[in-house]
Structure 1
């Protein structure tokens, strides 16, 4: 049992180290984009696939309530499932089509290689001329194929869903900490 526990810790640590090497530049770009968008009065929408839905909600909660500072809320919305139509595949896209505007940002957390709901939300974001930040694993090529030259991909170096979600949770916290630092402490 102890060896199994150590193996899980080691796998998580290895992904964290690899992510630290590969995600510095896209993370810095995402922070700059999110910060400037918030300062321009734009909204941040977030969504996730099955395993990453709670990460999207956590990210929104951090933007609204803050991490380290007592501050005003930032305009953030988590796209969610429709309780009256829970199997509706286009539920995220419909929300984004109704609420999203040019210049807003969609932050999509994807831990699987395919998510039709997130895929459709990204298409809706593109039709609204929004910028997309995708936080994915190594095998989300279908999702990342939607990204344009102004969009940002933060690709976690793993195909293991559990490791991807761990890193997404870490990155959601880090993004919010860095946004607060940029806005309230000047970088």
Structure 2
């Protein structure tokens, strides 16, 4: 049991060290994009696959309620997957199509190699001229292939789903802290 515990800690630490070296600039770019969008009255939609759904909900909660500051809520919505419709695999994309507007943001959390629902939501976001920030692992080529030049990918250096989700949660907290710092400087 002791070896398993040490392995978990070591894997997480190694991913954090690798990410610190490679992801500082994409995270800064994502924070700047979100600050600009929020200051221009745009909305932030988030969604995820599998265990990353929790991260999408947590990220929205941080945007609505704040991280370190007591502040007004930011306009944020977590796209839900609860649907009784027979075509429930389209539930995320239909929400983006119905609610998304040009200039809004889609934050996509992908911890698996492939996610039809998130992929379709990203396609819908592109058709609505929304920008995308995608948190992926090393192996999400279909998600990466959808991103355009104004979109941002934060590619976590791991292919292990649980380690990817851990880092997504960490980066989501960091991103909201950076946004609050930038918008409410000195508060």
Q: Could you say which TM-score interval applies, normalised by the shorter chain?
A: over 0.9
CA distance in 1: counterparts of 2:161 and 2:55, whole angstroms: 13
Instruction: Report the counterpart of residue 55 of structure 2 in structure 1.
Output: 55
Instruction: Report the counterpart of residue 145 of structure 1 in structure 2.
Output: 145
Compute the displacement of 1:88 (Å): 1.1
Instruction: Report the counterpart of residue 95 of structure 1 in structure 2.
Output: 95
CA distance in 2: counterparts of 1:18 and 1:87, whole angstroms: 40
> For residues 23-172 of structure 1, what are the structure 2 equivalents within 5 Å?
23-85=23-85, 88-172=88-172
Asked if the contact 2:83–2:91 (Cα under 8 Å) also holds between the matched residues in 1, the reply is: no
Asked if the contact 2:63–2:76 (Cα under 8 Å) also holds between the matched residues in 1, the reply is: yes
CA distance in 1: counterparts of 2:68 and 2:51, whole angstroms: 26
Compute the displacement of 1:140 (Å): 0.4
Q: CA RMSD in A?
A: 1.1
| Aligned positions, number | 186
Ranges in structure 2 where 5+ consecutive residues have no aligned partner: none
Compute the displacement of 1:86 (Å): 7.6
TM-score by length of 1: 0.97
1:134-175 deviation per Cα after TM superposition (whole angstroms, max 9, x unaligned) = 000000011110000100000000000010000000011011
CA distance in 2: counterparts of 1:86 and 1:110, whole angstroms: 24
Ranges in structure 1 where 5+ consecutive residues have no aligned partner: none
- Could you say what secondary structure the match of 1:50 adopts? coil
CA distance in 1: counterparts of 2:3 and 2:124, whole angstroms: 46
- Could you say what secondary structure the match of 1:107 adopts? strand
- Could you say what secondary structure the match of 2:162 adopts? helix
